[in-house]
Amino acid sequence: MARFFKPQKRKLTDTKHKEMTIRRLDHLGAGIGHLGKKPVFVDGALPDETVVVQLTEDKKQYARAKVIKRLNDSPARTQPQCPIYEQCGGCNLQHLSHAGQVAAKQQALGELMGKFAASAQGQSFEQAPPIAADAWHYRRRARFSLRAEGGPLQFGFRRKQSKAIVDVSHCPVLVGSLNALLPPLWELLAGLKGKKHLGHVELVEADNGRVVMIRHLQPFNESDRAALLSFAEQYGVILYLAPTADSLERVAGEAPYYALDGQKLYFTPRDFIQVNASVNARMVQQALDWLEVGPQDRVLDLFCGLGNFSLPLAKVAQAVVGVEGVDEMVHRATDNATQAQLTNTEFYQANLEQDVTTQPWAQTPFSKILLDPARAGAAGVMAHVVKLAPERVVYVSCNPATLARDSQVLLQQGYQLARLGMLDMFPHTGHLESMALFIQSEQGRKK
């Protein structure tokens, strides 16, 4: 008998207003309450607040809702400093005191990792004091969207959950030197004849000047190019032009760098660098301390980038091998090590989704390994980390969910989660940087 497809009726979300009390924040900063036993995630709501909400999404295991009305305010609620906070998509936690943010992130990280570690290793771990610095004017880089379509040039950040642009002339989380550049830069770009061909502008505070990278979809004419060069000279700007997604031309100023542990790390505005210089320096030092690196250690730095960890490690280790998937970054790290006169470093390009233990550089054992992957984590390399059998592993993560997932490989192979720390790299946002130390157990060493 023939069977015909019968579409299922789409479940309609119940939009009736409902009252609930927020119990805690998740690791992205959303408030969590419950309807029956189902968790409901509510942006903008804080623990101990009773709120009237409307569901925006209703799944089998969870729901999402928006606040219609707050019936009381948390003692930790504070007035946002940014006048466009409610519109801008950059920050989502300015309504919570900085101390409250740090405490909530510390709690969320501990609870998330605790679920996995306790079941795997049957014991607790030390939760280190969080690393935090100034909550305002900490970002040393930012990307501004640009649009000129039959009207004034828009210059700013994307709106929350939208591609529309909110104009920005001052940002309270951006470092002061870049904030000072925003009004004249906006005026310059708005006056260009080719402004409709502008894509975005990237700003970075280097230790030897302010970097401006302009993405443009058509070549600048002579007068626009002259105006850009005049601006760079007037404001002492290191100016880059990016006519395509793959090309980059430095047209004014010296190559930018940032200093770390007495060494200069050169970069381009397309390279990844940590946005919070103060927290980055303390993070690197904590990683060295947790690894207990000494002159007898051979250390492997996976996802090494420019050498942010590799160069400081090389000052105290016998040897450091840095591995990165992007060949251009490998060259940059090599040049940075040469510039720092470090002779005990080697850098290699490798696909970290494949078995790195077969590489020539992996034939000599490593006593310590450090990983600092992107948000997607390091699932492809974890089994190979175990095969290399280091005494200690430090995993630096910008996504606690992938850290928890990847840690399972280590825990199941006899490593103990010994220490966990929250790094307040991104105040006023839900982003959470963390560091975990895994130590090979006695049982693991006997395998």
Which residues are the active-site residues?
A: 398
Which residue ranges make up the annotated binding site for S-adenosyl-L-methionine? 274, 303, 308, 324, 351, 372
Question: ∠ CA 149-153-154 to the nearest 5 degrees?
Answer: 95
Those residues with Cβ within 8 angstroms of residue 184's Cβ, 6 or more apart along the chain or in another chain: 231, 235
The burial class, CB within 10 Å (0-12 / 13-18 / 19+), for 338 is exposed
**DSSP 8-class letter at 356:** G
Residue 70's Cβ-side half-sphere holds a number of Cα atoms within 13 Å equal to 14
Distance CA 192, CA 218 (A): 12
Beta strands in 139-189 (DSSP E): 141-147, 154-158, 165-167
Distance CA 214, CA 271 (A): 15
Distance CA 97, CA 223 (A): 48
Q: What is the DSSP string of 211-246?
A: EEEEEESS---HHHHHHHHHHHHHHTEEEEEESSSS
H/E run at residue 189: helix 182-190
- Exposure b/e, 166-192, CB count within 10 A at least 16 = b: bebeebbbbbeebbebbeebbebbeeb
> Tokens 């004034």, residue?
152
Distance CA 256, CA 274 (A): 14
Of 70, 71, 39, nearest to 55 (Cα)? 39
Cα distances (angstroms) measured from residue 79 to each of 74, 82, 86, 416: 12, 9, 11, 42
